[in-house]
């Protein structure tokens, strides 16, 4: 019998949500019950278990050397530096516990989790890099998160196959660029968003194939344009020079002018390109993606963020890529991971359930910090036959209790809500978070009042820095949060090379600003706002409906695909 959609009331927020026909097929494929939490509550719960970029200093519990960790020093977990964690010193099976059918599964898993060594930061195959987390195969990078196969990048989030970037996010095959978001195949781009194949340009929004353009929106295959108007090369270069974009004041002034220019320009309902039978935002080359955000080269995924490069049949996932397949209700699984249920960082692993930090493993249940494990439950080794029998018993008991397929309960997360990725997507005050059962971390990060730079007396232009300026001796103060921050030598060299003024807010505030500008990963049902005499709707207001991340109370003018295409230049 064909499955029909079914309405369910979320047991957490009490809102009604719909289980779609395609969902039934997936749940049957991975043999899990229907979810009892709505997609938002499922995502919020997963994300409270992931700390991407809140770093602390603490000592490695193995070698005793100081390291950088996502675990604050007041947490009593054993935390090992990456060198020790990946070494042969770690024998996670010695922390194994026996399964007790008379106790809750999550209670027993938490007991194992509390005593197994955790990696201070999780990365692999990164060369000459510092402050990297959830990364792989990078070279000469500093403070980049959720990224792989990059070189010479600083203060970036989710970048792939890119080189020479600072303060960029969601960039793929981008080089020599600054403050760009959601850009592909670009070079020498600055202060831009949603661009493909653009070169030597600044302040672009949703442009394709543009070269030497400034302050443009919805532009296609153009050169020497400013505010969407054509210039000769000589006129363009003269105008560009007059704007003094090497100065802080010049950049801030042009930012405001560009924002005013874009206010009355139509926006496409979603930033998607070659997305077949798909709903969501920030997607490229996808097929059958439902409610997915930031996804490319992927198909048959749902309710997921960062399903990328070969991800297939991934549902309720935050980060699944590089060939990931059949991943459910999980965090950060990739590098040919498959058949993972409620797991986190099971890179290169198959047939894993309720496992965390278990790379290159297979057929494991309820394990933690287990490398290259096979047929293990709670880190204890079993024969294949013993494993199958005990696994079936555990799952049956969990199904009877109505918890199989649910993510771990929030009270066993290692992180405070304000440290976790949930804060980006579902911001809460301390009081709200505690009331909902989440934790909160009060340990202060960073320093205040140590600045050596007074912005009032600081050169406006990067070209006016004194020859004896030693950035390694200076401490800056963020103009937004007042936190101190530093700028490393390679970063200053980049600013000088690109003639970009030194940023006056800290990397964290810059990251938060880019995230807010993207909008939250939520869809609203709306109608095209075009009332022009386009042929597609014969002179009457367009009535095409769509799902969009632009909420009805936002000021942007939102068009459907057809109307938008008739407005691009």
Q: Tell me the pLDDT tens digit for each residue of 54-83.
A: 999 999 999 999 999 999 999 999 999 999
Name which residue leads in pLDDT, 357 or 5. Answer: 357
The residue-averaged pLDDT of 91-107 equals 97
In the chain, what percentage of residues exceed pLDDT 70? 99
Residue 318 scores a pLDDT above 70: yes
Total residues belonging to the chain:
569
Residue 245 C-beta-side C-alpha neighbours within 13 Å: 18
DSSP 456: G
Looking at residue 199, its pLDDT comes to 98
Who's near 396: CB < 8 A, 6+ residues apart?
none
Looking at residue 503, its pLDDT comes to 96
Cα angle value 112/115/121 (rounded, 5°): 105
The residue-averaged pLDDT of 220-226 equals 98
Looking at residue 534, its pLDDT comes to 72
The residue-averaged pLDDT of 164-182 equals 97
- For helices 105-115 and 384-400, what crossing angle results, to 10°? 120
**Look-up of token digits 């999980």:** 330
- Could you tell me the pTM of the whole model? 0.93
Residue 526 scores a pLDDT above 80: yes
Question: Which CB contacts under 8 angstroms, 24+ apart, belong to 237-240?
Answer: 239/214, 240/214
pLDDT, tens only, 342-351: 999 999 999 9
Q: 3: pLDDT confidence band, cut at 50, 70 and 90? A: low
Q: 2: pLDDT confidence band, cut at 50, 70 and 90? A: low
pLDDT, tens only, 9-36: 999 999 999 999 889 999 999 999 999 9
- Residue 26 tokens read as 């997936």
pLDDT, tens only, 288-304: 999 999 999 999 999 99
The residue-averaged pLDDT of 434-446 equals 93
The number of helix segments (H) and strand segments (E) in the chain equals 12, 35
The residue-averaged pLDDT of 188-214 equals 97
Q: Which residues pair with 305 in a beta bridge?
A: 293, 318
The residue-averaged pLDDT of 119-147 equals 95
**Look-up of token digits 């960790």:** 69
The residue-averaged pLDDT of 484-513 equals 96
Q: How far apart are CA 82 and CA 127, in angstroms?
A: 13
* Residue 233 burial (10 A CB sphere; 0-12, 13-18, 19+): exposed
Residue 444 scores a pLDDT above 90: no
CA nearest neighbour of 410 among 146, 41, 2: 41
In the chain, what percentage of residues exceed pLDDT 90? 92
Q: How far apart are CA 394 and CA 270, in angstroms?
A: 43
CA nearest neighbour of 189 among 145, 159, 149, 147: 159
- Residue 179 tokens read as 């403050």
Cα angle value 283/285/287 (rounded, 5°): 90
Who's near 91: CB < 8 A, 6+ residues apart?
none
Residue 377 scores a pLDDT above 70: yes
Looking at residue 4, its pLDDT comes to 75
Residue 405 scores a pLDDT above 70: yes
Phi, psi at 97, each rounded to 5°: -130, 155
Q: How far apart are CA 203 and CA 289, in angstroms?
A: 30
Residue 1 scores a pLDDT above 50: no
């Amino acid at each position: 019998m064909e499955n029909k959609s079914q309405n369910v009331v979320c047991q957490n927020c009490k809102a009604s949500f719909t289980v779609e026909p395609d969902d039934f097929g997936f749940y049957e494929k991975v043999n899990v019950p229907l979810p009892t939490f709505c997609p938002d509550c499922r995502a919020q719960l997963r994300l409270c278990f992931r700390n991407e970029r809140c770093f602390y200093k603490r000592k490695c519990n193995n070698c005793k050397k100081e390291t950088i960790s996502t675990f604050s020093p007041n947490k009593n977990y054993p935390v090992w530096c990456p060198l020790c964690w990946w070494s042969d010193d770690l024998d996670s099976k010695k922390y194994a516990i026996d399964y007790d059918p008379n106790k809750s599964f999550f209670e027993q898993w938490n007991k194992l989790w509390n005593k197994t060594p955790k990696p201070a930061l999780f990365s692999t195959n990164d060369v000459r890099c510092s402050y990297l987390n959830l990364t792989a195969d990078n070279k000469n990078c500093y403070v980049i998160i959720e990224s792989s196969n990059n070189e010479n990048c600083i203060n970036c989030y989710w970048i792939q196959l890119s080189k020479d970037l600072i303060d960029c996010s969601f960039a793929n095959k981008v080089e020599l660029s600054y403050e760009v978001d959601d850009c592909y195949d670009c070079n020498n781009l600055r202060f831009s968003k949603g661009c493909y194949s653009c070169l030597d340009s600044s302040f672009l929004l949703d442009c394709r194939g543009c070269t030497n353009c400034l302050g443009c929106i919805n532009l296609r295959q153009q050169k020497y344009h400013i505010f969407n108007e054509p210039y000769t090369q000589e006129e363009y270069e003269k105008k560009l020079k007059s704007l003094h974009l090497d100065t802080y004041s010049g950049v801030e002034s042009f930012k405001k002018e560009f924002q005013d220019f874009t206010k009355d320009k139509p926006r496409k309902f979603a930033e998607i390109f070659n997305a077949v039978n798909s709903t969501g935002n920030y997607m490229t080359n996808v097929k059958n993606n439902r409610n997915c955000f930031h996804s490319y080269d992927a198909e048959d995924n749902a309710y997921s963020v960062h399903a990328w490069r070969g991800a297939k049949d991934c549902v309720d996932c935050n980060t699944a890529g590089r060939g990931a397949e059949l991943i459910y209700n999980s965090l950060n699984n990739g590098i040919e991971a498959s058949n993972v249920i409620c797991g986190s960082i099971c890179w290169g692993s198959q047939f894993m359930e309720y496992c965390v930090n278990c790379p290159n493993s297979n057929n494991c249940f309820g394990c933690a910090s287990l490398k290259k494990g096979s047929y293990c439950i709670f880190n204890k080794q079993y024969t294949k036959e013993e494993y199958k029998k005990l696994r079936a018993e555990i799952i049956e008991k969990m199904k009877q209790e109505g918890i199989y397929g649910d993510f771990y309960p929030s009270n066993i997360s290692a992180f405070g809500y304000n440290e976790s990725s949930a804060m980006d997507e579902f911001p809460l005050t301390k009081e709200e978070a505690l009331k909902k059962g989440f934790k909160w971390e009060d340990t202060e990060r960073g320093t205040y009042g140590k600045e050596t730079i007074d912005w009032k007396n600081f050169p406006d232009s990067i070209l006016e820095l004194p020859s004896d300026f030693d950035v390694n001796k200076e401490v800056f103060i963020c103009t937004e949060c007042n936190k101190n921050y530093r700028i490393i030598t390679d970063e200053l060299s980049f600013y000088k090379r690109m003639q970009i003024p030194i940023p006056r807010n800290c990397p964290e505030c810059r990251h938060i600003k880019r995230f807010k500008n993207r909008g939250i990963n939520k869809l609203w049902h709306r109608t095209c706002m075009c009332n022009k005499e386009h042929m597609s709707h014969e002179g009457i207001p367009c009535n095409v409906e769509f799902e969009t991340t632009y909420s009805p109370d936002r000021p942007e003018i939102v068009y459907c695909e057809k109307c938008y295409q008739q407005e691009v230049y």
